Amino acid sequence: MPHSARTSLSHTSWGNVIRAEHQVVSPDQPYAAARVLTEIPAGRPAIAYGCGRSYGDVALNPGGLLIETRRLDCFISFDAEKGLLTCESGVTLAEILRATSVPAKDGSGWLLPVVPGTRFVTVGGAIANDVHGKNAHVFGSFGCHVESLDLARSDGRILTCSAQNNAELFAATVGGLGLTGLILRATLRLRRVEGLALETEEIRFARLADFFALDAESAVGWEYTAAWIDCLARGNQLGRGIYLRARHAPGVSAPPPSLGPRRSVPIAPPLSLVNGLSVRAFNAAYWRKLGTAERVRRVVPYEGAFFPLDALGGWNRLYGPKGFFQFQCVVPPEGAEAATAELLAAIAEAGQGSMLVVLKRFGHVVSPGLLSFPMPGITLALDFPNAGADTVRLMTRLEAIAVAAGGRLYPAKDALMTAESFARGYPRLDRFRGHMDPALSSAFSRRVGLSDASDGSGEGR
Amino acid sequence: MSTQGRRVAIFGATSEIAVAFGRLCAEAHDRLVLVGRDPEALERLAADLKVRGADAVAILPADFNHIDGLSEMAQESWAPFAGLDLALVAYGTLPDQKAATGNPAVAAAALHINFVSPALLCDLLAARFEAAKAGTLAVITSVAGDRGRQSNYVYGAAKGGLQLYLEGLRHRLWAAGVRVVDIRPGFVATRMTAHLPQGGPLWATPERVAADMDKAIRRGSAVLYTPWFWRIILLIVRALPRPLFHRSKL
């Protein structure tokens, strides 16, 4: 264990289901981070930890070592002609937007081509989980826009990886869940948009089939699309919701969002505030949010549209001390409607509703990672307060439906999937294994059989 | 857009509070002189601040322990942008009181880097601001300088001495229109305090402290307690009658 390691009980993941003691090191320079990797004793592997925004256990290593990357937070260069940004891996997407998405006089500006639902994640985490956003059907995943990255390995080498150099290792590292080495730096290709603001439309739809119709209609001309689903609606209202689509508004500027949340949940309540009653009330209210209008059109800054999860800091605390599970799967296009209906029916039947149920179509843009989550099809995301065995039973059922439909689960959000589901969903697993660094493993990698289960954990010590 | 920013020198630029403050300056498109010990760390920070919006960044490697070099350091900090609007003195170390007790070499080193060196540098900077009849001298001291306590009096004495020194400079520079800002942070989660259990309501982030500093410096406040509640805590600590104070573990 590196001598500067300290004991921490506060390093959890966003779902807060797993609480464990970790040893933590926080290197504050890339060379120091690379050195930490070479000092990891055999059989006691470590994993990188950024902002702690993964929901499950991909960035946890109970009893073992976490390498905190948040202090690797320096920009290195920005080529404002080409839009090429180089920074260390602990820089957050919020910081990138703040530094580079400064609107020009005509409202245009540079923008990260792909952002997830929160801007409070590190670049390293965005690459390691190959995150996606509402424009995945047009722009693919985050990894599609990584020009190159510097990867430290435990044998002391620092390798520059890209689609041209060390291409296989690059493919393993994008979406590689931090298991191939420690990402020190990355160069990202930003995108020039004619207007940083968004023109958005929200459209209410009455049943699942309407989602598919709206989505087909929006495929041309709307680059950001997703739908909120009322997960408590059943029968012929199953799958009703609100479709959100957006595109950049040429000539209209928008300021970069703040570096931190504007309002936060100060403390965790002793019980989950997300429960049957509040979920029912929320879903009923949200369904009516457009009032009597069937369709609402607005021009807005991108902050609210891209980062709905950032409006309230520490919102995960609302789920109380037991935390919550997140579920996200993607199922292939053929049979997607049937599988989605089956998933929604299972949720409605279980009565364990969720606040934010999101349905979205992925397109045919190929993600570069061997373990990248996005693939053509329909993706469904939702969360459930952790009510113990009942919740686990529901999650297991949803997992079975998704896998049977030829789909897969998103590791960044998962805390429960089996090794078998993982192997079925990610057919390039064997190619990936060859690139793993022996000094790295996580609770996730051990659970799904990627790493030796006897490694790491402090049990028996 | 390019309203030219201030000319700012940061002494001890790679400390975490200074980094957070430098980033606020960068966003305001200031021109920066970064003074510090480690040239590589300065280069890394300079590149970072340029991307974050700094108009120009110069670096100046220097040894703050070396008193004879302070005059040259002040002069060199003045050179890149032909003067300064703001100088922030942000270096210092947190000595281990137990190690310093009964060990004159350790205690002297702590007094030197936390009082002698910054006080003398401030004097040199003050003369330059005075001649220019403008500018702000901001110095990070500490709430530890407000009352001598058994647990931390070497550090406390150095910082308290610096507070008095700054009070004198403020008095002297008032006529020239130069502001002297004494910044007194409480517990800040940084490398300097990494050996302490960080966390809890009294601990602040460097970013929080830097944001408070930025406001106080722009206003030209004489003394800043950051976060704000330390003003109340120190009011109480200073007011504690000795019989009570002596029984405390503070």
Give the chain A residue nearest B48 (alpha carbons).
A75
- pLDDT digits 0-9 by tens, A431-456: 999 999 999 999 999 999 999 887 65
- The pLDDT value recorded for residue A456 is 56
Asked if the ipTM is above 0.90, the reply is yes
Query: Which among B52, B63, B47, B61 is positioned nearest to B25, based on CA atoms?
Result: B52
Please state the pTM of the whole predicted model.
0.94
| Residue B184 contacts residue B221 (beta carbons within 8 Å) | no
Average pLDDT taken over every residue of chain B = 95
In this prediction, residues A125-142 reach a mean pLDDT of: 97
pLDDT in tens, A295-320: 999 999 999 999 988 988 888 999 99
Cis peptide before B227 (omega within 30 of 0): yes
Q: List CB contacts (< 8 A) between B48 and chain A.
A: 73-76
Q: Give me A158's structure tokens.
A: 């620092």
Whole-angstrom CA distances from A144 to A131, B30, B172 are 10, 35, 60
Interface probe for B, chosen from A10, A71, A75 (most Cβ of B below 10 Å), is A75
Say yes or no for a CB contact (<8 Å) between A75 and B48: yes
pLDDT of residue A460: 33
Measuring CA to CA, which residue among B222, B229, B239, B191 is closest to residue B38? B191
Q: Give the CA distances from residue A44 to residues A156, A233, A454, B57, in Å, rounded to whole numbers and listed in that order.
A: 17, 48, 10, 43
Q: Does residue A459 have a pLDDT over 60?
A: no
Q: What confidence score (pLDDT) does residue B1 get?
A: 42
* Helix/strand/coil for B186: coil
What would the pLDDT profile of B58-72 be if each residue is shown by its tens digit? Answer: 999 999 999 999 999
**Does residue B247 have a pLDDT over 80?**
yes
| List of chain B residues whose C-beta atoms are within 8 Å of the C-beta of residue A74 | 44-45, 47-48
Instruction: Provide the 3-class DSSP secondary structure of residue A386.
Output: coil
Pick from B45, B52, B194: which is nearest to A99 by CB? B52
CA distance A88 to A184: 6
pLDDT at A291 over 60: yes
Q: At what angle do helices B16-27 and B206-219 cross, to 10 degrees?
A: 60
Q: Cβ B52–A85 below 8 Å, yes or no?
A: no
Nearest chain B alpha carbon to A80: B51
Which of B1, B45, B199 is opposite residue A10, by nearest beta carbon? Answer: B199
Q: What is the pLDDT of residues A60-99, one digit of tens each?
A: 999 999 999 999 999 999 999 999 999 999 999 999 999 9
Q: Does A79 touch chain B (CB under 8 A)?
A: no
Catalytic residues of B, which ones? 155
**Cβ-Cβ contacts under 8 Å, A75 against chain B:** 47-48, 50-52
Say how far apart CA A141 and CA A330 lie, in whole Å: 14
Confidence at A356, pLDDT banded by 50, 70, 90:
confident
Whether A374 shows a pLDDT value over 90: the answer reads: yes
What pLDDT is stored for residue B2 in this prediction?
A: 46
Residues of B in contact with A73 (CB under 8 A): 48
Distance from the Cα of A74 to chain B's closest Cα (Å) equals: 5
